[in-house]
Amino acid sequence: MITKEDMVELFADMKQNAPWDSSKPLLWGYFFADPTKSKLEGASAQLKAKGYQVVGIYDSKPEAETPALWWLHVEKVEKHTADTLHARNQEFYKFAEEHQLESYDGMDVGPAT
């Protein structure tokens, strides 16, 4: 589980090393995982209704006969602080639990285009 301390470290690292201003809106990507693609498809529709853009649902082992795990990637341009991102992570852990997804796997960040 991602802790608030992890978020504090992330923002300190971005302030020192990222080529973007972390006090401005950034493109945040969020990831969910489950062995059942249809569960992620249902979750993606609900996240889209909340304003997230669905980037895709990916098979972690496309060459295998049976997928090991499916990944849902959504993103949204948002302005976060360590506190607001921690709150968002908690919201997504709860969302994953409510939708019986295997996991909310975290986020990534980049400049908003």
Structurally, how many domains does the chain consist of? Answer: 1
* Domain limits for position 35: 4-10+25-111
Is 83 a domain residue?
Answer: yes
What tens digit of pLDDT does each residue of 10-26 get?
Answer: 999 999 999 999 999 99
Is 79 a domain residue?
Answer: yes
Is 63 a domain residue?
Answer: yes
Task: Please indicate, yes or no, whether the overall pTM of this predicted structure exceeds 0.75.
Answer: yes
CATH, residue 57: 3.30.70.970
What tens digit of pLDDT does each residue of 85-107 get?
Answer: 999 999 999 999 999 999 999 99
The mean pLDDT of 53-75, rounded to a whole number, is 84
- Measure the CA–CA gap between 39 and 69, rounded to whole angstroms: 12
The mean pLDDT of 62-80, rounded to a whole number, is 85
- Measure the CA–CA gap between 78 and 85, rounded to whole angstroms: 10
